[in-house]
Amino acid sequence: MNPVGSLDRRMTRTGLLFLALGFQAAALSAEGEAGVIRGRVVDRMTGLPLESANVFLASTTRGTATDAQGRFVLADVPPGFFQLTASRVGYEGEVLPVEVTGGDTVRRVIALVPRAVGGPEVVVHGESPEAWRRDFEEFSRQFLGADRFAQGCRLLNPEVVGFRREPGTGTFLAVSDSVLRVRNNSLGYLLYITLRSFRWDSARNAVEYTVFVRFEPLVPGSPAESLEWKTNRREAYRGSVRNFLRALVSAQLEQAAFYVTNEEGESMGRDARKVVLPLPSGVRQLATDEILRIDYAGEAEAHRNYIRLAQGLVHVGADGSLLEQQDFLIDPRSWWAEHRVGRMLPMEYVVE
């Protein structure tokens, strides 16, 4: 990444790198009749149907598996923009952008490419359990995070993850051709994660990953556990990027206790009116070439974040989802940068 300004040498990309919350995510509409997405998953080389492929809308609770003919149906999908994701062991994952409008049926054929044999070597430390365990612990810290929500997470199938290190660079990589299953006992979700890439550069203190996630709500074992999950979800949401973006598009930044200035502390105006442009579709355009400082002083821990827009603008959906995830850059000094997969919530989540 080319450095621009005093902070940019340390900026990284949120959806593709550390936060994963809106990365490859849905953009739900506030209103409208639900639609349906149906189609087939096939082998791109042979055209034959693929059974038991995972098909889901990234960052949501909506997903299914294909039948013997490779068919799938996702019903009751709210209007909006989505990343339709398909994966299967032995194949490269595929992501298709789709838009669902009120009451429509969207049809798609997803062609998966067989995973190449003899690609980049992945070293799984089968002969040294201790070495694999050390790598797995490092991966867990950088991938799930280190806060109390991450402490409640457990990767249920760690054996499907392989690791390697780039000689002389301090760079650590993890790969898997299986769906990772993470149980988050802090927030009450089972996460099905397609890991597209993971890279941890210890020298630069930078982690980069691309994931596609489907959420499945867990069933609480008691009223006390249900209350705990509700409380934790609210805490995880308050002060988050999603909270900020939803407040931004609804012109309620001050009510949500967010304050936006430039790097020098000059106010962007109430509800950041200097940098937010409403569009007829209900989408908001956040546009600026400046580094923005975002302070939060609400119910959760007070904190400060710095962001920059790679192309000078991004579009934010009515639900607070980013339509150009890769262009929303967060400085690693920011509070947001410390929160990883263990703090993720599905797009459908609203504060109860």
- What's the average pLDDT block by block, 10 residues per block, for the chain (352 residues)? 38 40 46 87 97 94 96 92 90 89 91 73 56 90 92 95 84 90 98 91 80 95 97 96 91 93 88 86 87 94 94 86 84 87 92 80
Final residue before a domain boundary, out of 167, 186, 217 = 217
- State pLDDT tens for residues 214-252: 999 999 999 999 999 999 999 999 999 999 999 998 889
Distance CA 345, CA 352 (A): 13
The per-residue pLDDT for 117 is 57
The per-residue pLDDT for 11 is 56
Q: Are residues 84 and 196 in the same domain?
A: no
Q: Is residue 244 part of a domain?
A: yes
The per-residue pLDDT for 3 is 29
DSSP β-ladder status, 105-112 and 35-43:
parallel
The per-residue pLDDT for 269 is 85
Q: Is residue 171 part of a domain?
A: yes
Neighbours of 33 (CB within 10 A): 11
Q: Are residues 174 and 238 in the same domain?
A: no
Q: Is residue 1 part of a domain?
A: no
Final residue before a domain boundary, out of 217, 240, 273 = 217
Q: What is the 3-state secondary structure (H, E, C) of the chain?
A: CCCCCCCHHHCEEHHHHHCCCCCCCCEECCCCCCEEEEEEEEECCCCCECCCCEEEECCECCEEECCCCCEEEEEEECCEEEEEEEECCCECCEEEEEEECCCCEEEEEEEECECCCCCCCCECCCCCHHHHHHHHHHHHHHHHCCCHHHHCEEECCHHHCEEEEECCCCEEEEECCCCEEEEECCCCEEEEEEEEEEEEECCCCEEEEEEEEEEEECCCCCHHHHHHHHHHHHHHHCCCHHHHHHHHHCCCCCCCCEEEEECCCCECCHHHCCCEEECCCCCEEEECCCCEEEEECCCCCCEEEEEEECCCEEEECCCCCECCHHHEEECCCCCHHHCCHHHCCCCCCCCC
Q: Are residues 278 and 257 in the same domain?
A: yes
Domain span holding position 106: 35-112
The per-residue pLDDT for 120 is 46
The per-residue pLDDT for 31 is 56
State the CATH number of the domain containing residue 78.
2.60.40.1120
- State pLDDT tens for residues 73-113: 999 998 888 889 999 988 988 999 898 887 889 999 999 99
Tally the domains of the chain: 3
